[in-house]
Amino acid sequence: MNALLRRAGRLAVVLAVVTLITFLLVAALPGDVALDIAGADATEQEVAEIRAEIGLDRSLAVRYLDWVSGIVTGDWGQSWRTGERVWDAIAQRVPASLELMVLAQIIAVSLAIPAALLCARAPDGRVDRAIGFLAFGSVSMPSFMTAVLLILLFSLTLGWLPATGYEPLSAGLWENLRPMILPALSLALVEWTALMRTLRAEMIGVLQENYIALARAKGMSDRRILVVHALRPSSFSMITLLGLQVGRLMGGSIIIEQIFGIPGVGRLLVTSVFSRDFMMIQGCVTFFALAYVLANFCTDLAYARLDPRVRGLGGKAGAHG
């Protein structure tokens, strides 16, 4: 439990650093917000009033502390452009982003596990090589390129799936899933390869273990050995990777949401950057970092539950090293 607490403490420090970096970057953005709000023909007096009103006349340190303490107490500030509360804007867009990422990860895992089983069954065999080459091709195809090709094929040529759009879950499960398939697939087709390779490598190691030899000696079929005995002990690294991938997935979702017009947090960030919506940018980046840190914390917990050897130790040791 002690290690867990230490880790939580470290995460708090990490988040503090993240917010500081974000705040400084946003503060360095060119342009004067007060001038923007006041408009081109405002007098200097009016601009100064607005600046005081939104608190921009205070020092950087005061503004940072004010913003961070707001985050801790649940007040993420307000957009100077649209007047929206930052937290409400983000919370409203979380479901779409979350759905996209979960769906992508489900597709990625369901591609990775069978592929890894096929590979580990006969390492360096013909199937292994073919899948390995396929993985190389897949990972060399960035998600935005996959997205363009998938739209060309499934939306424009075949007309099976819509190219853009989003329907909330309340519109019905299929209506909700239909426009999500192509975006999720675009993300998954990059992510599955790393999962597959990790699982394959670890499984090849596990298959050397004595209890596998015993199972084989008992005459158990290959398939049963792979699925029943080897899969679970081989999946630890892959589960850790699932957590680490949350960061990449969020990065990927930024561009995918943009392409497919999904109203998620990533799209909010992009539009905020283009419109220089300072508070919204700070909020989105902080939210991403928070999500990343929490996801990894949860991965550690899951890891501890799955592997009896680290159970009770409170997760694996230090975050780095």
Partner 1 sequence: MADVAAPMPAAVEDRHAEAIAAHRRRRRLGPMFWIPAAWLVVLILAAAAAPWLGLAPPDEIDWMAIQAPPGVENHILGTDVLGRDILSRVLHGARVSLTVGFAAPAIGVGIGLALGLAAGYFRGWVDEVVGILIDAWLAIPGLAVLLLFSAVFGGSLSMVCLSLGLLFIPAAARITRAQTLSYANREFVLAARAMGASDARILLREVLPNIVWPLMAFVMIDIPIAIVVEGALSFLGLSVKAPTPSWGGMIAEGREHIEDSSWISLIPTAVMFVTVLSFNLAGDVIRRRFADTREAAL
Q: Does 72 bind partner 1 (CB under 8 A)?
A: no
For partner 1, which is the closer residue by CB, 229 or 283?
283
Measured from the CB atom, the residue of 92 and 258 that comes closer to partner 1 is 258
Residues 6+ apart with CB under 8 A from 146: 185, 186, 189, 190
User: Is residue 151 part of the contact set for partner 1 (CB under 8 A)?
Assistant: yes
Binding residue for partner 1 (CB under 8 A) from 67, 260, 292, 303? 292
Choose between 113 and 284: whose C-beta lies nearer to partner 1.
284
Q: Which of 65, 94, 102, 148 binds partner 1 (CB under 8 A)?
A: 148
Q: Which of 251, 261, 263, 314 binds partner 1 (CB under 8 A)?
A: 251
| Rg of the chain in Å (alpha carbons) | 24
Establish if 196 lies at the interface with partner 1 (CB under 8 A).
Answer: no
* 26 belongs to the binding site for partner 1 (CB under 8 A): yes
CA dihedral 174, 178, 179, 182 (to 10 degrees): 150
Is residue 165 part of the contact set for partner 1 (CB under 8 A)? no
Query: What does the alpha-carbon distance between residue 61 and residue 170 come to, in Å, rounded to a whole number?
Result: 44
When binding is defined by CB under 8 A, the residue of 70, 123, 247, 263 that contacts partner 1 is 247
Residue 87: which of 97, 99, 73, 101 has the closest Cα?
A: 73
Residue 12 or 228: which CB sits closer to partner 1? 12
Cα distance between residue 269 and residue 260, in whole Å: 15
254 binds partner 1 (CB under 8 A): yes
CB of 12 to partner 1, least distance (A): 11
Q: Which ranges of the chain does DSSP label H, i.e. alpha helix? A: 2-27, 33-38, 44-53, 60-73, 86-121, 126-139, 143-150, 173-206, 210-217, 222-224, 231-234, 236-260, 265-274, 278-306
Interaction between residue 293 and partner 1 (CB under 8 A) = yes
Residues numbered 83 to 142 that lie near partner 1 (CB under 8 A) are 136-137, 139-142
Q: Is 82 in the site for partner 1 (CB under 8 A)?
A: no
Asked if 256 contacts 101 with a C-beta cutoff of 8 angstroms, the reply is: no
Q: What's the rounded Cα separation, in Å, for the pair 148 and 13?
A: 40
Is position 29 an interface residue for partner 1 (rule: CB under 8 A)? Answer: yes
Angle at 296 between CA 78 and CA 198, to 5 degrees: 135
Q: Which of 4, 10, 68, 123 binds partner 1 (CB under 8 A)?
A: 10
Q: What is the DSSP string of 48-115?
A: HHHHHHTTTTS-HHHHHHHHHHHHHHT---B-TTT--BHHHHHHHHHHHHHHHHHHHHHHHHHHHHHH
Residue 173 as a binder of partner 1 (CB under 8 A): the answer is: no
CB of 137 to partner 1, least distance (A): 6
Residue 78's beta-bridge partner residues? 85
239 is a site residue for partner 1 (CB under 8 A): no
Span 205-234, contacts to partner 1 by CB under 8 A: none
Contact set with partner 1 (CB under 8 A)? 10, 13-15, 17-18, 21-22, 25-26, 28-30, 136-137, 139-145, 148-149, 151-152, 156, 247-248, 250-252, 254-255, 258, 269-270, 273, 276, 281, 284-285, 288-289, 292-293, 318-321
